[in-house]
Amino acid sequence: MRNNHFKHKKRFFRFVRLLRRLRPLELPVTHRHNHVELFHGGRQFFEALFAAIRYAEHTILLEYYLIHNDHIGAEFANELADAVQRGVEVRLIYDYIGCLDTPASYFKNLSKQGVKLLPFNVPSFKRGIYWFDKRDHRKMTIIDGTLAFLGGFNIGEEYAGCVTDKMSFRDLGFSIQGEAVWELETIFNETWSGERDEPSERAAERPRIHAKKSWNAAVNIISGGPRQRRSYIREAFQVNIASAAEEILIATPYFVPGPRIIRSLLRAVRRGVRVRLLLPARSDVPVMLLLGRSSYATLLRGGVEIFELEREILHAKVMLIDGERTVIGSANLDQRSFHRNYEINCLVDNTQFGGQIRALLLEEIDGSSPVELDVHERRGLLIRIMERVVRLFGWFL
């Protein structure tokens, strides 16, 4: 990336002004002394996660959208049961709809082992059909209030790289040590209390963090949910896109950005920013491919570069701004993540972490197929009709 001090200084102050729009008054925003570690494959992520669970001494807090009853799910359950036997308090929030295919016996066994369970958004006719459209899409583990694991990984073999490439999910995860973990624990406790219709637990006093000199990653936590008056998740994407001076790299599996994000990307190109999107060529939700591709022509004409990953199913959710600021977590660039899911994203301002993300994304882009406007425009009439029909329901998908 080019090193232009004045351009970056001007962009920084613009970013700070825009970021103030996002600030929930009751929560801290910037945590400056953190260590952030990237896990670019499922095997690496789950090895680190399970090792951390084994060393837990006091509490393990977990919040996951999907947990499979397979080899990885069984190992996950065994690690949690062993932790309870050591005297560790283990609490798990899982999404009821996301885990609909997971047998009830899996969770009954966890409960018998002493794991405290909370199914999120259990069906209730008292709430009409509203309950069905709300999801807890977060993926988060917090160990002893000092170490957190986040990203796109659910609990299952396809995320851990235990299946063939055609069925494997290409994902990213990361861990945080430092000041930001306290806020993540607060968010977990609010969700736990809110779903149980109990008064919120009194926030624990912020622990003293003995940060190492090398812990220099600034982290902002962006928590999203349908109870918010506006979408902090979407605004975090918009603010960072607006602050870009040179380059935007985005990877997302479900691409339904809506007009605001599309306008933001096109404005960035007009400012001279190079914008590249890494999107899936195959999906576990095929209708989302049709919906996402219906926006391609507008973006391609505006100068946005689009690439489709073919060898695996893309599941990573990350945006990198100018090689140094990363938006990463559970949220997709779609309307569900913006408005109806409970999500957790992090803004990581660190050149070393950003450099790792950039190298990975560029490697994936180099191995992906570029989408050319003239080829895209030659897609069949039936496909165009299907795209138009699907777009009518885009907000609900």
- Classify residue 196 by burial, with Cβ atoms within 10 Å: 0-12, 13-18, 19+: exposed
The pLDDT of 270-278, averaged and rounded, is: 98
Q: Which residue has the higher pLDDT, 316 or 376?
A: 316
C-alpha pair distances (Å), 108 with each of 50, 73, 113, 121, 393: 21, 14, 9, 18, 37
At 192, is the pLDDT very low, low, confident or very high (cuts 50, 70, 90)? very high
| % of the chain residues with pLDDT over 70 | 85
**C-alpha angle 158-159-164 in degrees, rounded to nearest 5:** 35
The catalytic position among 35, 40, 137, 339 is 137
Segment among 188-192, 358-362, 378-382 with least mean pLDDT: 378-382
Task: Reply yes or no on whether 137 is catalytic.
Answer: yes
Q: Across residues 211-225, what is the average pLDDT?
A: 87
Task: Tell me the whole-structure pTM to 2 decimals.
Answer: 0.89
Per-residue model confidence (pLDDT) at position 259: 92
Domain that holds residue 95: 5-396
Name the active-site residue from 35, 40, 139, 339.
139
- Comparison of pLDDT for 194 and 29, the residue scoring more: 194
Model confidence at 51: pLDDT above 80: yes
pLDDT digits (tens, 9 = 90+) for 193-213: 988 777 666 555 665 666 676
How many CA atoms lie within 13 Å of 256's alpha carbon, on the beta-carbon side? 23
Helices (H), the chain: 5-19, 42-55, 71-85, 104-112, 157-160, 180-195, 232-243, 258-270, 286-293, 296-301, 335-339, 351-366, 373-377, 381-391
Q: What confidence score (pLDDT) does residue 231 get?
A: 87
Please compute the mean of the pLDDT values over residues 257-271 and round it to a whole number. 96
Set 31, 68, 315, 339: catalytic member = 315
Give the span between the Cα atoms of 47 and 163, in whole angstroms. Answer: 16
Active site residue 71: no
Catalytic pick from 95, 136, 322, 334? 322
Q: What is the pLDDT confidence band of residue 166, given thresholds at 50, 70 and 90?
A: confident
Does the active-site annotation cover 210? no
**Tell me, what's the pLDDT at 27?**
41
- Res 128 pLDDT > 50: yes
- pLDDT value at position 290? 84
DSSP-derived secondary structure letter, 272: T
**The pLDDT of residue 24:** 43
Q: Is 31 a catalytic residue?
A: no
Determine the Cα–Cα distance for residues 6 and 84; give it in Å rounded to an integer: 54
pLDDT tens track for 288-305:
888 888 899 999 999 999
* Confidence class for position 163, pLDDT limits 50, 70, 90: confident
- What was the pLDDT predicted at 146? 95
258-279 mean pLDDT: 97
Question: What would the mean pLDDT of 245-257 be, rounded to a whole number?
Answer: 96
Choice between 94 and 379, residue whose per-residue pLDDT is larger: 94
Whether 84 has a pLDDT exceeding 50, the answer reads: yes
The pLDDT assigned to 209 comes to 65
Give catalytic status of residue 10 as yes or no: no
Collapsed DSSP state (helix, strand, coil) of residue 77 = helix
> Taking all residues of the chain, what is their mean pLDDT, rounded to a whole number?
88
Kindly list the distances between the CA atom of residue 51 and the CA atoms of 1, 48, 66, 77, 83, in Å, as whole numbers in the listed order.
36, 5, 21, 14, 11
Q: Is the pLDDT of residue 347 over 50?
A: yes
| pLDDT for residue 26 | 44
Assess whether pLDDT exceeds 70 at residue 276: yes
For residue 286, name the pLDDT band (cuts at 50, 70, 90).
confident
Whether pLDDT at 8 is above 60 = no
Asked about 139 being catalytic, the answer comes back as yes
**Any idea what the CATH number is for the domain that residue 24 is in?**
3.30.870.10
> Which whole number is the average pLDDT over 81-91?
98
Selecting among 68, 317, 339, 349, the annotated active-site residue is 317
Of 36-50, 82-96, 266-280, 366-380, the range with the lowest mean pLDDT is 366-380
As for how many domains the chain has, the answer is: 1
